[in-house]
Amino acid sequence: MSESAGDERFRTERYDYPLPLDLIAQQPAPAREQSRLLVLDGDQLLHERFEDIVRHVQPGDVLVANDTRVLPARFLPKRRGGGKAQVLLLHPVGEAASRPYEAGTTAQMAATTGQDATTTSELPQTWEALVRPGQRVRVGDRLSLTAEAGFEIVGRTPLGTRLVRFYGITASEAMKTFGQAPLPPYIKSPPPDAAERYQTVYATHPGSVAAPTAGFHFTKDLIAAITEHGAEWATLTLDVGAGTFRPVKTADIRDHPMHAERYEIPESTAIAIRRAKSAGGRVIAVGSTTLRSLEDSARRDSNGEVHAGSRWTDLFVYPGFQFRVVDALITNFHLPRTTLLMLVCAFAGTQRVLTAYAEAAKLRYRFYSFGDAMLIAARAPQEPS
């Protein structure tokens, strides 16, 4: 075994931590900006409310957020014998049902048509999906939403997901009539307004089946206060897939098969980042999806600059990663053994993050999607890759 193969940074068990189940948030804070905020500034921990984020933003900084909108992508159809089933759409596939539907993602279609993509008939009819109960649903089976409409299972992928095709109803009409917010499975008692609270207030482009949860804490008034303070607010779009939250099951994190997601960076955002960098300001990423998008774009440029464009990325950020763009990070508290936690550890230092998580648990911060927030005010010194 090589020295790098035995490096503790790459052992999945390094990214485990104990957490009482009652700290997993079942409902969001009554007011978005009233969630708690743990500020990690070097080795110092500060305990505040999210609305205090304005005090940590400086004139000349740019905050970049993911403006994707979550689709009502969860369905509860019936099997042929009347048994229950569940379908979670992951992403559209092409006419040959063999690759992501790159020519017309929901976000692209919304931008082209000027419509909410969940209300346009242009949504593709064939999708990759998670289907349960997996062992009882085979290719050729139909799962019904009504007597005349539902899903037909048309294929199976090597990862065990299914290819499903709507019949008797369009995908957009099915989402509008039968679709539910795709809340994480650990949320057992969702709030009555879950469909609204599982979106950011700035969600614009439909296309995700999981939310960019770091943005849940912002309100329009808070964004206005940030810009009045002299910082810029910019957005990009990354269509979040369910694989984002999947635990790493390999012993060595480098063996984990990373999911691919599509992102799009507008020219205005690329310009805002260059302006902040040239003026000595910070690039503050709102969430891990934003960080991955910006760093993926920078890795494609010899000078490490962010450029506008639409791309797919399977970038896996773990300790040893060399950051080029992001200077500070706003994020939630993530599940153990996930790529999200590994990304945060890469950014702030593994021991520092796990110590902060232990302190948050001790002080009964609320964890995961509907939980509290964390601001990492500056990234740690770069570790050797």
Angle at 65 between CA 358 and CA 53, to 5 degrees: 55
Instruction: List every span in the chain annotated with CATH 3.40.1780.10.
Output: 4-69+187-376
What phi-psi label fits residue 82: left (phi over 0), alpha (psi between -120 and 50 degrees) or beta? left
pLDDT of residue 313: 94
pLDDT of residue 96: 34
Spatial distance between the Cα atoms of 278 and 280, rounded to a whole number of angstroms: 6
Other Cβ atoms less than 10 A from the Cβ of 302: the count is 5
Instruction: List every span in the chain annotated with CATH 2.40.10.240.
Output: 73-178
What phi-psi label fits residue 197: left (phi over 0), alpha (psi between -120 and 50 degrees) or beta? alpha
Spatial distance between the Cα atoms of 363 and 230, rounded to a whole number of angstroms: 33
Q: Return the CATH fold of 73-178.
A: Thrombin, subunit H (2.40.10)
pLDDT of residue 92: 85
Q: In 177-239, which ranges are E strands? A: 205-208, 232-238
pLDDT of residue 107: 35
Q: CA torsion, points 288, 286, 233, 273, in degrees to nearest 10?
A: -40
What phi-psi label fits residue 269: left (phi over 0), alpha (psi between -120 and 50 degrees) or beta? alpha
Place of tokens 């740690």: 380
In contact, 379 and 42? CB cutoff 8 Å: no
Tell me which H or E stretch contains 98.
Answer: none
Spatial distance between the Cα atoms of 373 and 25, rounded to a whole number of angstroms: 12
Q: Return the CATH fold of 4-69+187-376.
A: QueA-like (3.40.1780)
> Can you count the helices (H) and strands (E) in the chain?
8, 17
User: Digits of tens for pLDDT over the chain (385 positions)?
Assistant: 334 556 899 999 999 999 999 999 999 999 999 999 999 999 999 999 999 999 999 999 999 999 999 999 999 999 998 899 999 998 888 643 333 333 333 333 333 223 333 333 467 899 999 999 988 899 999 999 999 999 999 999 887 889 999 999 999 999 999 999 999 889 998 888 988 999 999 999 998 989 999 999 999 999 999 999 999 999 999 999 877 777 899 999 999 988 888 999 999 999 999 999 999 999 999 999 999 999 999 999 999 999 999 999 999 999 999 999 999 999 999 999 999 999 999 999 999 999 999 999 999 999 999 999 999 999 998 776 6
pLDDT of residue 259: 81
pLDDT of residue 384: 65
In contact, 179 and 71? CB cutoff 8 Å: yes
pLDDT of residue 111: 32
